[in-house]
Amino acid sequence: MASLKEEVEEKKKLIATLRNKPWRMKRRLKLLKECQAFVEEFEGALGKGKGRKLYAYKVMMAKKMIKFNRDFDNFKTACIPWERKIKEVESHFGSSVASYFIFLRWMYGLNLVLFAFMFGLVVLPEVMMGLPYGSIPRKTVPRAEQDRAMDISVLLDFGGYCKYSILFYGFYNDERTIGVLQFRLPLSYLLVGVGIFGYSLMVVIRTMARNSDEGGDGGDDGQFTFAFKMFTSWDYLIGNPETADNKYASITTSFKESIVDEQENQKDENIHLRRFLRVLANFLILCSLGGSGFLIYFVVKRSQEFANLDQDDLSWFEKNEVEFVMSLLGLVCPPLFETIAELEEYHPRIALKWQLGRIFALFLGNLYTFLFALFDEVNAKLEKEKSIRNATIWGLNEYYSNYSSYHNTTDIPPPDIHPADVIRGPCWETAVGIEFVKLTVSDIQVTYMTILIGDFLRAMIVRFLNYCWCWDLEAGFPSYGEFDISGNVLGLIFNQGMIWMGAFYAPGLVGLNVLRLLTSMYYQCWAVMSCNVPHERVFKASKSNNFYMGLLLLVLFLSLLPVVYTIMTLPPSFDCGPFSGREQMYNVVMETIENDLPAFIGNIFTYATNPGLILPAVLLMVLAIYYLNATSKNYQNANLELKKKMQMARDEEKNRRNNKENTNQVMQDLEDLLPNRSLLPPAAAEEKPPPVREKGSKSPKVAKRPGAAANGKGINIQKDVSLAAPNPKAAVTHPPGPRGPSGNARGPPPGPARGRGRGTPPSRR
Amino acid sequence: MGTTASQLRKDLLSEYQELTFLTKQEIILAHKRFSELLSKEDRNIPTPRVPMEKVLSLPELKSNPFRKRICHVFSTSDMKDGSLTFEDFLDLLSAFSDSATLEIKSHYAFRIFDFDDDGTLDGGDLEKLVNCLTGETDDTRLTTEEMRQLISNILEESDIDKDGTVNLSEFQHVISRSPDFVSSFKIVL
């Protein structure tokens, strides 16, 4: 009974792994039908006796589950958008350009989920269950700004009606619960803000883990250069003859280069000059990085001064100076770095890594300088707020005391001022949100304009002016552009970093980004297909997938820091946003725990936040990391050992086969001198022996040592040794006189000794 | 669309799903493309065969330097003429699909590269392989000296037991260390 069950399980396992077998479809189909018939027949039989109904039910549910899983997988695959588009790009440009679009699609998915969170849990409740526009001061445009609130220029600057809408932090009300459902908006706002980071972190790490699994170790660099070039350099997705020709050319070039490289040893011509040039290049680049950081700081400070002036006096340029300068720097510096890097003369792959690192440093420096400058602004606003708040409180007290003294009641209605006329504090969170949104918008504009001018216009000029130009524009100077994969990917990563930072202060930013990614996909696919040519020199920065994911992770952490800092330290504005009136933003969570949850949960939290508990937990985690690290190193070492063993075993084989003659010769000579034949190594050729040795009853004894053929006298028989069958002649011509008994005695022992070799002749026994 | 005879039977469809790495839509698309390659008379035979020339006219295979070898490897024809039935075609797509495992891909890659079908990659196979990769024209080919050097370098790297050929396990060992192989060994309709 149990064995039957086992067999059924086995057959089921076989069915599941059938697609992994490299057999012909016919054979697999046959096997599948057999296994299925077997399983069906006996599955019924197993269900006899007790628990039959339960067993049958379980089996049916399992089958339905499998079918459901398969249908669900099919459905998921059908839902993935833009497959055709990406496939077209892949067939023309190869898989490395297509990897950018796959990354873009992945980002789109991530942003869609973030948008769903933000929209469903924060924006929608406020819109549906919260107070409408115009009912309370924070939701109304102040009287002073009202006549200009609908102007296009003001709206484009995200002032006016835009500022007092759901797009920004300031609109949200701070009532603990709203609407019929008692929805706790402030709590939800905080949790969503933090949850966005948590979810992104989870997704990025999961993708990284999946990528690192497929990638393997990448080989120890240079161990398999030629083999990889041979076996893995062709991209089977290429479907376009032009691209294929390009690929042929690049493969040929890379072969020729590697052959030459391998032949020449590294002639380090002038190592001192090269070192000096490299130091010089790094110094220049550091200077430019510092320069750009300073420029941004200066510009942000200036914009604060501008903000104090009357808005009408400023030109468009002065109003948007910050964003303009940042985008300009992002455009100009990378080519500058590339030109400086030509001083360094690195191998292209290493040069690419340096270039990416520098661009990353540039963007990071710019972003953080921007943040610091913004932070100064925030502090200034907080100062101003203090005075306004004091003024408001004083005004309110005055009103109450006047009213009570005038009307002689203690039941005082709230002051009857129109919301638009109330004195407002400078809502710093909204200001920060506006800055981020403006930055994102200008980034979008700059990217699209660059593609239009840099790629499309260039392609038009090259194509049409070529007819009347002196030199060949297509082959010579401008020619068509190539798709800059790394620049685009980095741009995408940093855009996402800005979104993460700004999402807490401007809930509408995530929606904006979703729209941007959607249009980007179509726009860039069109641009690449119509204006770009495939890369001339195609080399894959192989582990680049995980490299970009690693960058994304880093950016995620870096954008987490400012948000968490503000949540924990900065006091929220007193009259706008969902946390107004509280000391710190996270007090919302404390309040919820105290008021809404049962008492013991509050106790649990108090215990959990006790440093006495947290410190040991942190210590434990550090130890766990150390332990896992040590284990993984051990596995790597074990791997290396096994590899070495494999090599050694093969080497041994080879040596045995090749050197048997020699060793046996030596041993043969010794053999003559010694009475006891046991010196002769029982080792023998493992390959051919078994069938051959069975010939004749006497020959087995001799056959053991094909090299050692008969007895010591058979020295000259050594020649047809190694894999060859034992020389039958020798067996016959030399009646094994003295050898007989020793020969017999040696019957069993060689058996296990020969087990060392590959083919243990089983028939020896 | 074709006549009902050229529609895929439902039970076969689910079996193919079980046995290959392709999804239902991919199998149906493959069937459609395969039927387009058949000539009118062939459509009504139970297991039609598409001759190699027609298969090579597919855009996905047209620019591939190994197209003839691919057809030969996946063909079950007795006349060794590289013609494919629908099941052979599915085998091809399954091995080249996105979800196929490294083992399957490396196994088939080995067979594709083995030009003389003797189970090992010896010097002659490697030479033909390099010639395929460097294109058809004369000025892109390598010189004899370069070829010799290249082949000896490759054998040095991949031939573990130093017998002058690369066998399947050595090949799979090399391929398993390559990070690009799985992503470039793909053909999608």
Distance between start and end Cα atoms, chain A: 37
Q: Which of A21, A25, A651 to mutate to test the interface with B (most CBs of B within 10 A)?
A: A25
Residues of chain B numbered 132-161 and touching chain A (CB < 8 Å): 133-135, 140-142, 146, 149-150, 153-154, 157-158, 160-161
CB atoms within 10 A of CB B39: 10
Mind telling me how many Å the CA of B31 is from chain A's nearest CA?
15
Domain pair B10-94 / B101-183, same fold: yes
Distance from the B73 Cα atom to the nearest Cα atom in chain A, whole angstroms: 11
Answer whether B23 sits within 8 Å of A77, measured CB to CB.
yes
B63 CB within 8 Å of a chain A CB: yes
Which one of 2.40.30.20, 3.40.1080.10, 3.40.30.10, 1.10.238.10 gives the CATH number of domain B10-94? 1.10.238.10
Closest CA of chain A from B41, distance in Å: 24
At A748, the pLDDT band (50, 70, 90 cuts) reads: very low
Residue of chain A with shortest Cα separation from B15 = A29
- Residue reference for tokens 């102007």: A151
Locus of tokens 């972003």: A367
Q: Write down the pLDDT at residue A518.
A: 94
In this predicted model, what pLDDT tens digit does every residue of A30-59 receive, in sequence order? 888 888 888 877 776 665 656 677 777 888
Q: Do A218 and B24 touch (CB under 8 A)?
A: no
* Set of chain A residues whose Cβ sits within 8 Å of the Cβ of B187: 236-237
Tell me the pairing of strands A532-533 and B84-85: unpaired
Give the span between the Cα atoms of B161 and A646, in whole angstroms: 10
Neighbours of A259 (CB within 10 A): 19
Interface test with A, best of B9, B153, B165 (most A CBs within 10 A): B153
DSSP per residue, A432-479? HHHHHHHHHHHHHHHHHHHIIIIIIIHHHHHHHHGGG-SS-TTTSSS-
Helix axes A348-407, A485-502, angle to 10 degrees: 20
Angstrom distance (rounded) from CA A646 to CA A566: 58
Read off the tokens for B36: 């387009």
Contacts of A639 in chain B (CB under 8 A): none
Residue B171 in 3-state DSSP?
Answer: helix
Over residues B121-145, the mean pLDDT reads: 82
Residue A498's Cβ-side half-sphere holds a number of Cα atoms within 13 Å equal to 28
Confidence at residue A732, expressed as pLDDT on a 0 to 100 scale: 41
- Which distant-in-sequence residues (6+ apart) come within 8 Å of A342 by Cβ? none
Q: For residues B177 and A273, give the distance between their C-alpha atoms in angstroms, rounded to a whole number.
A: 37
Q: How far is CA A694 from CA A688, A725, A726, A749, A765, in A?
A: 11, 11, 11, 18, 12
Task: For chain B, give every domain's residue range.
Answer: 10-94, 101-183
Give A157-169 pLDDT, tens digit per residue. Answer: 888 888 888 888 8
The whole-angstrom separation of Cα A242 and Cα A224 is 29
Task: State which fold the B101-183 domain adopts.
Answer: Recoverin; domain 1 (1.10.238)
DSSP per-residue letters across A121-184: IIIHHHHHHS--TTSSGGGS--GGGGGGTT-HHHHHTT-HHHHTSTTSGGG----SSBTTTTB-
Burial of B141: CB neighbours in 10 Å, binned 0-12, 13-18, 19+: middle
CA distances A631 to A271, A635, B5, Å, are 41, 6, 59
Q: What is the pLDDT of residue A648?
A: 82
Work out the pLDDT band at A215, boundaries 50, 70, 90. Answer: very low
Distance from CA of B185 to the nearest CA of A (A): 6
Q: Which of B104, B179, B180 is facing A20, going by the closest CB pair?
A: B104
> Which residues are paired to A370 by β-bridges?
none
- Range picked from A41-45, A220-224, A585-589, A622-626 for highest mean pLDDT: A622-626
Query: pTM of this prediction?
Result: 0.71
The verdict on a CB contact (< 8 Å) between B153 and A24 is: no
Task: Report residue A725: phi and psi, to 5°.
Answer: -65, 155
- Nearest chain B residue to A214, by CA: B179
Beta-carbon separation of A252 and B94 below 8 A: no
DSSP 8-state assignment for residue A120: I
pLDDT in tens, A289-298: 888 888 888 8
Helix then strand count (H, E) for chain B reads: 11, 2
pLDDT (tens digit per residue) in A68-122 = 888 888 788 778 888 888 888 877 787 778 888 888 999 999 999 999 999 999 9
| CB pair distance less than 8 Å for B177 and A224 | yes
State the pLDDT confidence band at A536, using cuts at 50, 70 and 90: low
Q: Is the dihedral of CA A83, A89, A95, A98 positive or negative?
A: negative
Closest CA to A632 of A217, A222, A206: A217
Higher pLDDT, A313 or A481: A481
* Interchain contact, A223 vs B177, CB within 8 Å: yes
Half-sphere exposure of A585 (CA within 13 A, CB side): 26
Widest Cα–Cα separation across chain B: 59
Write out the two tokens for A331: 């455009």
Residue B174 to residue A228, Cβ atoms within 8 A = yes
Q: What are the backbone dihedrals phi and psi of residue B80, each rounded to the nearest 5 degrees, phi first?
A: 55, 40
ipTM rounded to 2 decimals: 0.86
